[in-house]
Amino acid sequence: MRKTQPLPLLLSLLVSLLCLYPSQGYTLNCGSSDHSSTLEVMHIYSPCSPFRPKKALSWEQTILDMAAKDEARLLFLSNLAVGRRSMVPIASGRQIIQSPTYIVRANFGTPAQPMFVAMDTSSDVAWVPCTGCVGCSSSVFNTAKSTTYKPVGCSAPQCKQVPNPTCGGAACSFNLTYGSATIAATVTQDTLALAQDPVPNYSFGCIKAAAGNPVPPQGLLGLGRGPMSLLSQTKSLYQSTFSYCLPDFRSTNFSGSLRLGPVSQPQRIKFTPLLTNPRRSSLYYVNMIGISVGRRQVTIPQSALGFNPTTGAGTVFDSGTVFTRLVQPAYIAVRDEFRRRVKAGPVSALGGFDTCYSQQVVSPKITFHFTGMNVTMPPENFLIHSTAGSITCLAMAGSPDNVNSVLNVIANMQQQNHRVLYDVPNSRLGVAREPCTR
């Protein structure tokens, strides 16, 4: 009896070692592989991400965590879509408390200081925590070490785009609050270099103080279409065109890419027109006209899909939401057809997901139909499995009750392993299957 005891102990030790070092077994290259106008895109939980949880979260915890953060994201997007007056073009308190999903490296200042920033297609502004920031965690941009850094004055047009600017000295500053979180920032300009292209005099927010919980550990790169966005500030360099391939968050050694500018974008790609909501120009609206589960197009009332700039209703592509949200009648139609097809025993709920099975399932494909473009996704884009394979959930949900639910959001899990091309000059968005590997 006694002699058998060390074996389970050894086994559990081995297991915990394997869990501690998930990168064993293949070489991990965490150095920057950015080149010309292409940046490496990492999931926030990837082994190379400095922001991944110190202690590995369980599968359920990871999913519930991401789904909970989506709630705040949805609230932010819905407020943007309906044009609440509390939302300002440059930065909102709401987006500041959100956790990013995908990050890239950006170089601020001269000489370049590398900083991680979250990619956000539904925001315009860029911001980073700066020197002397009270309450910021992790690394900050050291403004004193940059020879090209300069604060933006109160009379500058950029100062008009921030909420309630105050002018201490000559600098343009502003405060943001959300619940218990408060952030104080100044509007600044410095060289921003993405991959190898430097952009002089880039306007962004420099965070000077942050209080409350949670405080963002990294910066933000707004890829929206508004006046302060990367697209607007780099129009001559990148011609308002970019694409990304988002790696699967379950695959530890995969990374994706953010490709800036019209050069080397895919030729074989299907497009759908981009729609503009004049009141919320930063959101990437498209016209979704139907959804199929397997070959069957489910019945969805037109009001659940139609674009309406007055109410903000319609469908957007977003890089910051994890799980696709559909307005209730659309979600219910998709879910009911999915359940009818899958028939894998009793349906249970997990967190915000209402269609889970306690076994592996054989799933039909799901197709989003847009004007001129069908996107058919394999099950890995909409099924989540527990590590042990004992639970499978449909990774989509109806819009939460607490938000004005007019918006369908095509989220990042559903975009993984696809190249999504934002071609603003030609007012179109393209999608093509592509494995997002290093």
Ligand X SMILES: *[C@@H]1O[C@H](CO)[C@@H](O)[C@H](O)[C@H]1NC(C)=O
Catalytic residue ranges: 120, 318
Which of 91, 94, 116 shows the shortest CA–CA distance to 103? 116
* Residues 6 or more apart whose Cβ sits within 8 Å of residue 102: 41, 42, 43, 44, 118, 119, 244, 246, 256, 319, 412
Q: In terms of C-beta distances under 8 Å and separation of at least 24 residues, what long-range contacts does 14-23 make, across chains too?
A: 19/56, 20/56, 22/47, 22/56, 22/252, 23/47, 23/252, 23/253
Judged by the rule CB under 6 A, the positions of this chain that interact with ligand X are: 26, 166, 175, 184, 200-201, 209, 251-254, 369, 372-374
> Which lies closer to ligand X via its Cβ, residue 24 or residue 267?
24
Which of 382, 371, 316, 369 shows the shortest CA–CA distance to 120? 316
On the 0-12 / 13-18 / 19+ scale of CB atoms within 10 A, 418 is buried
Which of 205, 133, 191 shows the shortest CA–CA distance to 163? 205
* Residues 6 or more apart whose Cβ sits within 8 Å of residue 273: 286, 287, 371, 372, 427, 428, 429
113: phi then psi, degrees, rounded to nearest 5: -110, 115
